[in-house]
Structure 1
Amino acid sequence: MSAASLRIAAFVLLVAFVSAPQLFAFVFEPLTENGAPAIYNQGSLLSLTLAHLRTVFGAVVASTIVAVLLGIFVTRPAGMEFLPLSRSIVNIGQTFPPVAVLAVAVPIVGFGEAPTLIALFLYGLLPIFENTLSGLTQVPPLVLDAAKGMGMSPRQRLLGVELPLALPVILAGIRLSAIINLGTATIGSTVAAKGLGEVIIAGLQSNNVAFILQGGLVVALLAALLHDGLMTLERTIASRLGRSM
């Protein structure tokens, strides 16, 4: 079976499971005890999956905007002196565990999706910021000199040369941030955020291995499909840049 066929099969399996999980009850029944339900029955798996993805998407978009803009700023002559400070700021998300961020955020913004978004936003900054730095600083000086010789302004060189050439590296950082946040977002259910963490926590509370496995498998499949999709996008862009060079 080819890689493309595996991707399609995994996607179809995921959609089928979250849309009609009862069709897969026979798979999980051996994992239950004392007549416990084999399929999560305290909410819709489809709605929880969509809510999970919405939270992750929102956090990654916010992290991308802030990290890329900060990376651009500290690679300009006027902002280079702020590089150490910027690194300290984006490292906050990696220094403090997401659970600690949730504990601090809940008294400020309350329960629900907001504290989870804050935690994921902070946690996702570092890989995007560092990859933005790497991508922008690895642009060949000869290319920049040629662009300058053509009369391009600093803004034109940034938008027309530097960012396009750095895009595959930046996308790699976004991919890493998204994959990390997909798994980390499950803790949001501890502060009443909708997501697949509900399924896992319900399984832990009721000692139902089937629930835990269902939540974990959906998150794992989402992560694998997202990783593969973004990796394909990176390769496509890198290939096109290579041909245009």
Structure 2
Amino acid sequence: MAKLTKKQKEALSKVDKNKLYTLVEASALVKEITNVKFDASVDIAVRLGVDPRKANQMVRGVVTLPHGTGKDVKVLALVTPDKEAEATEAGADYVGLDEYLEKIKNGWTDVDVIITMPSVMGKLGPLGRVLGPRGLMPNPKTGTVTMDVAKAVAEVKAGKIDFRVDKTGIVHAAIGKVSFSEDKLADNAKELLDTLNKMKPAAAKGVYMKSIYLSSTMSPSLQLDPKGV
């Protein structure tokens, strides 16, 4: 096992493993225990009491974080020529159709979100094996397949993220950067948690939010009190 550095030991000493932190406490402490030289991402992991193998217990949705993610999200708009201008004006980083479909076919996936139109989805089907595993396949449920391309691009740029429960029942999401104030981190986390709470499947029995952890890149995890969020 790798030896802990002095800073890592110091960070661990500030974390009470037996304590369930409030959202405000954890948002302040995660900033204090992060000791990397870059602006680290702050992530939340929520274990849900659902069985994601059952379609009626799949939790998937979108949320607009009030203070954004702090990340410059690269957006590809796969649109017909008549929609190119509005996608560009809304802030899409890449705009086009056939040339980008060919690039994706050859393995290019250097984007964070792909937004497209219903009429284009048929062309994306054959690229599912490339886009699916990377979470890049557009989906009407997350607002990335739409005729209002400009609105979709603007929302993603402003901090709209999509989330889904993984096969182990956990939702992972980045909710900001360590440079954010503790209030902004807490606001973003609360927005996501409130959204998740509203999405409890009727088929899910027992405790819905089993555990919540907040951490940053390479920091110890802080366990939150699910009843206090």
Structure with greater Cα Rg = 1
Normalised-by-shorter TM-score class = under 0.3
Structure ranking higher in strand proportion: 2
User: Normalization by structure 2: what TM-score?
Assistant: 0.27
Larger RCO, structure (CA 8 Å, separation 6 or more): 2
